[in-house]
Structure formats: structure tokens, C-alpha cells
Chain A
Amino acid sequence: MTDSDTTPNSNSTPSPAQNSFEKASTFTQAIITEIKKVFVGQDDIIEQVLVALIGGGHVLLEGVPGLGKTLLIRSLSKCFGGDFSRVQFTPDLMPSDITGHAMFNAAKQEFEIRKGPIFTNLLLADEINRAPAKTQAALLEVMQEGQVTIEGESFSIDSPFMVMATQNPVEQEGTYPLPEAELDRFMLKILIDYPSAESEFAMLAQMSNQNSAGNFNLNPIKTLMQGKHIEELRSIAKRVTIDDEVLNYIVKLTRATREWSGIVRGAGPRASIALMSASRALALIRGAEFVTPDDVKQVLLPALRHRILLSAAMEIEGVNTDEVLRDISISVEAPRH
């Protein structure tokens, strides 16, 4: 810690930026509250999805069947007033089924571009690993550059755009593991675990009061935001202060994955960018105007767990990526002034 000179600001009046941070935090908390009406007992998961949404990234949700992955995305889409598309990924799904294709219009005697479901604000790619790599790769361009190329012509995707993909880690037969390039384009990989007993009880109590049997009723969720709101949140998040020491801490964490024994392939620079964006978004959700090392640590696991590859020896020993990342977070010195 260096005791640098800083002029004390005796003026306690909040700045306009500070007001916007508080509003943004209030707004995001309102969204979380709305989603929690349906998606019970997984507050951290909701927060992480919002982090990805505000951070301008994409989310890969992984969990065993029946944990509400699709419900979470549907709830978010209900809360969001923009366009929403859902694509069920199957082995026979073609890239053009997602991106769109050129079709000859006999009446006009010309080719017309028929845009696929990817032209939306929120795209739910359900069970993305059921489709072959060729179809999965159709998402690469749009996830990174926000545009789609059909018949040689590029089409921009309206902002905000977010891909929310789900995959099931249990039923691996007949699936196509996502390639590294595809995985790297997801800002966060969120693991959904079983809810607690209290949360499960609350969910059942909520279900018993609804008329619909078996299906979750999304009517309680109010539409709170439009596309422009998300754009505003993103712009505010970019204004969240991030100190050089924190940036250095992010770099040290990312680089540690490349030098850590037991990791064959470490995280790339895109991981550092994702870590920074996610940290800012998380700070915004919590109402902070700056990023702390705690924010970085909070998003470290979801931001890096899909970007590192453990050695065969570690996998044989039953060590998973989360354990390794926890070890890294403990060993890398936290920033001190």
C-alpha cells in the first residue's frame, strides 16, 4: 500500500454519475426480483446472467435436466421487452436454419434474404451441444462481431444481442462438444446446481397456487426493460472505475492459468477482457462505482472455467477446473495500495 496524496473531497453531494449508478443498481435489482418470482432459490445464477447481459457477453448454462435453465432464460426474456427467439438445437439442424438463407422470389424474380431466428435481441440456444460443429460454428461470427453473413452479404444484428445457450453435461451420447473457439466466445459459463431444500419447498408452494400443471406460469413477471435500457446499463457499466491495480490483478490471474501446473491450455486475452467486463457489470449490479478485487474474484470461476483445459493427470485424479481456479485465486496476490 502506498499512501499517495489525495485531496479530500469534503463535498458530500452525489455526482450525476453516482446517481446513474444507483439508478442502474436499483433497476438491475428490480429485474432480479422479477425473475426470482419464478426462478426460485438461484439468486447467484440470476445475477451472473445479468452480469453477462450488462457486460455485453453471452452465457453458457450447464446443468442436469430439470434445474430450470430454460425457465431462467424465458423469465429474462419476459422481463425484457425486446425480441426473443428460441432454437432447439438438434443433430439435423443446419447453419442456415439459424442464420437465414437466400430464397428465390418467383413473383419478384429475385433472391430475397430470409433472416433466421438469430436476428433477435435474446437468443436461446437450447441444448446447443446437440447440433454438429458446423451449425455451432454459425454462431461464431454473430457472437463476436454482432453480424451475420448470408450469401456473401453481411447483416448487422440489432443491439442488444445476447446468446444464452444451455447444455446438459450428463447425456453425452450423440452430442458434439463445443469447440474451444466457440466456448471462448461465451463470457460466462454458469453451472446450475440443485436448489436448497427451502428453495425447492418455496418453488412447490408457488406451483401449487398456480392453475397450470407442470408448466411454469410466467405471467407474474413484468416487462421492465427494453433494448435501450440494456444499452444504457452497458454504457453505465463501461464508466465503472477500474483501478490499474485491479486490472493488473486480472492480468495476473489470467496469466497464472497459463503457468499453472496441471493446466494444459490457459486462458487467452479474451478471458481478461471478459473478466474485466463482468467485474464492471457485477460492480454495477451491486451499486458500486468502482471494481474491487472481490468483484473480480466473484466472476473468476464463471469467466474462466470454460477457457482452461486441465491435464489428463488432473482429470484422472478427479480435479475439476473450479478447484484449480480457486487455488489460483488464493495463490495470486491480491492488489494492495
Chain B
Amino acid sequence: MDLNSLEVEIRPRRSWEALDLGLLMARRWFFPLLKVWLLLSFPFYIWTVLHRPASDTLPYFVFWWLKPLFELPLVFMLGNAVFGDLPTVKESIKKLPKAGIFQIFLNLTWRRLSPTRSMDAAIVALEGLKGERRKQRIRTLHSDGASPAVWITVLGRCLETIFPFALLALIYALLPENVTFEFSEFFEGEPTPLQNFITATCIYICAAVTAPFYVAMGFALYLNRRIQLEAWDIEIAFRRLMQKQEQKKKFNSQILSTSAVILVGLLLCFQITPSSALDLEEKEEEKPQYTLQELQPDSNLLEAKENIFEVLEGDEFHETEIKKTARLKFFNSDDKDEEEEEEKEEDDTWLFNSIKGLASIFGGVASLAEVLLWVVVIGLILFLLFKYRHWLSDSLRGFKANQRADKPKPSSLFGLEITEESLPEDIGASALALWQQGEARAAIALLYRASLTQLVNRGLEIYEGFTEQECLNTTKDQAKQLAINNEKIQYLAHLTRVWQRIAYGHLTPENEIATDLCQRWNPTWVRDSEDE
């Protein structure tokens, strides 16, 4: 297939534009095409004319049914004609058996009613495809722009029906006036042999005229799809570029050779030998001169070749090294299985392998996406923990405070021993004794510590940062909840004031006040405890 010799302009066309190309092709090679068609169909025309009774339509049907057979050589002819090699009628008809008797048989049986017959004929006639490959080829060609093939079949059928009547009407119109003949009588009654002849001739002429156009338009559709699919236009463009380059090179070499001849002529004329030329000659002498015999493969070379092959077949070139690297498990959890499957299924078809490859790719992408998703989730959790760290800290503190309430009572608070064991049995008496011994601070401290112990044991929540006044205020706030009566609160308030004075102001309370506090401690705190 020489694309350079194409008789038509090669470019991708729309389907309907391709039909125009088919019309032009039919017009250009109309008579050669018509000759082939007539030659093949003429026997059947004779049979139709001579067949008796004339009313029998079997010859017409057979003639119509065998039309694909008459059209096949036209496709051969067009296939060669577009490449500038228009075959003769004889050559075209001779190529008919090459399509294959079986394919011709199929064309005349169940493919006969195919509406895309004009386009598909080239696949059998020119490409010689059969079976599944033919089906795939047809699917490819029909994937775009096959509908005009259907329409030209429909239109051709209509024209073949109408044209004979039109031709009969024309003949009737041309009859001399002295011939008395009613046109309606032609279609009434038993047809005479003359009528049969006229009818068959009209039908035959119409079929003969439409056949080249029908075949050429189908072929043009086929050709256009080939141009689109195989990019003939691009190939031709490249070839033209190559041709231009070759022509240019040829032109340049011609100029160079001409210039060289002129230069040599001038040098001979003036008998000047350039030094560079002398050097070149000397260098050529220094080059090793090989004889034809030396360049031929001798026995040593053959031995070397055999040695090389032996070395290549040795163990050094067939060592198999297995390397193991650490990889994420979930990335390749199925790798081993996949490898085993691959070993088992080496004979699988390419389609299965392709699907499997795609599945592994998607599997890898999915694994990567999963990892990224986990990274995002962990990052989000860390971000939320950081953002709400203060709220969480407060909540945790509250949770710990609640836990503290549920826990056993603490043994120390603010560095104070607040267990029952750390305090004397009789707080009031002990404090009074300390006061009387002159240890005023120790006495008041004992009372205050014992009071706090009582409160904490009752469930009072006190933080480390609480001052004495805050402890008192908290006690007042939780008095109802902790069942602390007003007497206790008043005692604690008074004790707190005295404690603050002695602790921070270094002011020792009066004897009456201190003694009163010592004496009132037991009745205030112990009585209720014993009741409980």
C-alpha cells in the first residue's frame, strides 16, 4: 500500500462528506466499474428475459439476491484505483475467487440483508478477514460514522424501485402517436415476452447505474474510517517531509560534487598540492590495512565466540540472589499469595493479567489512602487535644476532685497532718495545755488543724491554693450539704480570725479568747461526731 500514490486527497472527513467522495469516485471510474458489473450480471439478465412464463418473478429475485456477488469485483477495482492502479475488467473479475467461496457464500446468505453491506464488503474483499477478526474489525469501523451506510442502502433500494417505473414512463412518453398503447395496460394481465423484456431491461439498467455509486459510497465510508483510525494523513505528511529532506540532501550533494570537481580542475590547472592533502595521504598510509581475508571470521574468532557463550552459560551469570527488606505489613499482606498465584497462573490470558495488574495498582493506592487517612485522624486528635488542653485540664481536675470525694479521706492536706492519728484524743484539753504552757501559736494551730480535719473528713473540697478565708467561705457554701451547723461555722470563723492574727500578724490573742476557743472545741466538733 503506497500512500504516496493515492488518487484522492487523504484527510479525515465527516461521514456524509465521505459519501460525496464516493460519488466523485463513482463518476471518475464509472465505466470501468459498470463494465465489470454488467459482465457479471449479464447472464442473469438474459435468464430473466428468456425465462417463461414471463410472470414468474424468480429470475428477478435471484438477480436481486446475487447483487453482492456482482459488487465484490467493484470493490477490488476501487481498492486499486484509489492507489493509482486501475485494474482491467479481467483482473478485477479474476480477484473474485480470492475473497473465498465460503465468504461469498456468507455474503449471499445471512449477510445478504445487512444494511451496512456496502461498507463491510471491503473487509472481505480487500483485507480478507474472517471469523472473529472480521467481527472485531467491523465493530471498530462501525464505532463511528456507520449510519450513512445504512441510509445509502435504504436510498439505493428506493431508487432501484422508482427508476424502472420512471424509465417505463419515459419510453411511453416517447412512443409515436400512431402507436396506440395504454400505459395502464402494461401492468394488467399476463405479461407478454415483450413486456417482460422491457421490464427486465429497465430494472437491469437502473440496477447497473446505481450499483457503481452504491459500492463507491460504501467504499468511501470504509476508506474514511481507515484514514481516521490509521492516521494516513499524518503518515503522508511525514513522508512528504522525508521526500523534501532527501531532495534537499540530493541537491546539496550535487552542488558539493560539482564544486569539488571544479576545485580539483582548478588545482590541476595550477599544479598546486595542498599540504593538508599530503598529510591525509601520509595518515592513510599509517592506517592498518585490512585485507578481505582478514575480515572474514577465521577459526580463532569462532573459538572465541564459543568461549564467550560458555562463559555466559556459566554459574557466574546465573546466580540468583534473594534480598529481603522491611516493608509495612499491610502494604504487602497479599504479596506472597499474589506471587504464588502468579506462579500457578502463568498461562493466564493477557486480559486476566491486565485486570490483575489494575487491581494491584488500585490496591496500592487504597493502602496509601488508608495510611494517609490514619495520619489525618491522628493529626486531628492531636490538634483537638492541643486546642482544648485547658478545658481537658480543668475537666481532669474536676474529675480528680470527684475521685477524691469517692476516695478514702486523705491523710495530709496543705502539708498538714489531718489524720485522726496525728491529733491527740482530746483536742480541747491538749490545746489548752499548750496555751497554758505558753505555746500560744501551737495551741491555736492545733485547734485550727483539728477543725480542718473535721471538715475534710466530712467531705469538704479544698484546693491547695485556698487561703484560710477561702476555706471558711467554702465551708459556709457547703454547710448545708456537709451538715455543718451555724455554731460550727461561727466557731470556725472566730478561730480563723485568731489564727490569722497569730500566724500572719504575730498577734497573740487574749487569754480569755484562747481559753474559750480551747474549751469550746470539743463541744462544737466532737459531740456531733459521736452522735453520728
Contact = CB atoms under 8 A, between A and B. Distances in A.
A319 B388 CA distance: 12
A10 B513 CA distance: 10
Interface in B281-307: none
Contacts of A314: 390
Interface stretch (B6-14, B334-342, B461-469, B484-492): B461-469
Interface string B402-445: 00000000000011100000000000000000110011111001
A289 B504 CA distance: 9
Given A1-B449, A4-B442, A337 B508 contact: no
Contact of A288 (B438, B470, B505): B505
Interface in B471-514: 500-511, 514
Contacts of A336: 414-416
B504 A243 contact: yes
Contact of A7 (B438, B503, B510, B511): B438
A319 B390 CA distance: 10
Contacts of A262: 390
B506 A243 contact: yes
A294 B468 contact: yes
B465 A332 contact: yes
Contacts of B416: 1, 336
A332 B502 CA distance: 23
A245 B504 contact: yes
A87 B400 CA distance: 53
B146 interface: no
Contacts of A190: none
B19 interface: no
B508 A317 contact: no
A291 B504 contact: yes
B465 A333 contact: yes
A3 interface: yes
Interface string A3-43: 11111111010000000000000000000000000000000
Nearest to B413: A336
Tell me if B's interface is mostly helix, strand, loop or mixed.
Answer: helix
Nearest to A241: B505
B466 A3 contact: no
B466 A337 contact: no
A128 B160 CA distance: 107
B387 to A, nearest CB: 7
Contacts of B200: none
Chain B contact patch, size range = 35 or more
A328 to B, nearest CB: 8
A241 B464 contact: no
B440 A292 contact: no
Contacts of A9: 507-508, 510
B414 A243 contact: no
Nearest to B473: A294
A192 interface: no
A211 interface: no
Interface string A233-264: 00000000111011000000000000000100
B446 interface: yes
A38 B435 CA distance: 50
Contacts of A197: none
Contacts, number: 107
Interface string A82-97: 0000000000000000
A317 to B, nearest CB: 7
A330 B463 contact: yes
Q: Which of B438, B467, B502 has the most CB of A within 10 A?
A: B467
B503 to A, nearest CB: 5
Contacts of B434: 3
A288 B441 CA distance: 19
A270 B502 CA distance: 29
A9 B446 CA distance: 18
Nearest to A336: B414
B510 A12 contact: yes
Nearest to B439: A5
Contact of A3 (B438, B445, B505, B506): B445
Most buried by B among A294, A314, A319: A294
Nearest to B510: A12
Contact of B465 (A1, A242, A290, A334): A334
B390 A297 contact: no
Contacts of A294: 467-470
Given A243-B503, A294-B469, A10 B510 contact: yes
A293 interface: yes
A238 to B, nearest CB: 15
A246 B504 contact: yes
A246 B468 CA distance: 13
A331 interface: yes
Contacts of B414: 333-334, 336
Interface in B377-415: 387, 390, 414-415
Contacts of A5: 438-439, 441-442
A240 to B, nearest CB: 9
Among A243, A289, A291, A336, max chain B CB count under 10 A is at A336
Interface string B348-388: 00000000000000000000000000000000000000010
Nearest to A6: B441
A223 interface: no
Contacts of B465: 329-334
Given A8-B438, A333-B414, A292 B445 contact: no
A282 to B, nearest CB: 13
A4 B464 CA distance: 22
A284 to B, nearest CB: 13
A315 to B, nearest CB: 13
A290 B504 contact: yes
Contacts of A291: 504
Contacts of B470: 294, 297, 334
Contacts of A7: 438, 440, 508
Interface string B504-529: 11111111001000000000000000
A149 B442 CA distance: 55
Contacts of A319: 390
A241 B502 CA distance: 11
Given A1-B449, A317-B390, A336-B414, A289 B442 contact: no
Interface in A285-301: 288-294, 297
A292 B500 contact: yes
Given A6-B439, A7-B440, A246-B504, A293 B468 contact: yes
A331 B464 contact: yes
Interface in A305-326: 314, 317, 319
A294 B505 CA distance: 13
B3 to A, nearest CB: 72
A10 B510 CA distance: 5
Contacts of B415: 1, 336
B497 to A, nearest CB: 10
A11 to B, nearest CB: 8
A290 B501 contact: yes
B504 A334 contact: no
A2 B441 CA distance: 9
The 7 closest A-B CB pairs, nearest first, are A290-B505, A3-B442, A8-B440, A6-B441, A294-B469, A9-B508, A293-B467
13 contacts: A1-B449, A3-B439, A3-B445, A4-B441, A5-B438, A8-B438, A9-B507, A243-B505, A290-B504, A291-B504, A331-B465, A334-B468, A337-B445
Given A4-B441, A290-B500, A292-B469, 6 more contacts: A1-B448, A241-B505, A291-B504, A317-B387, A319-B390, A334-B466
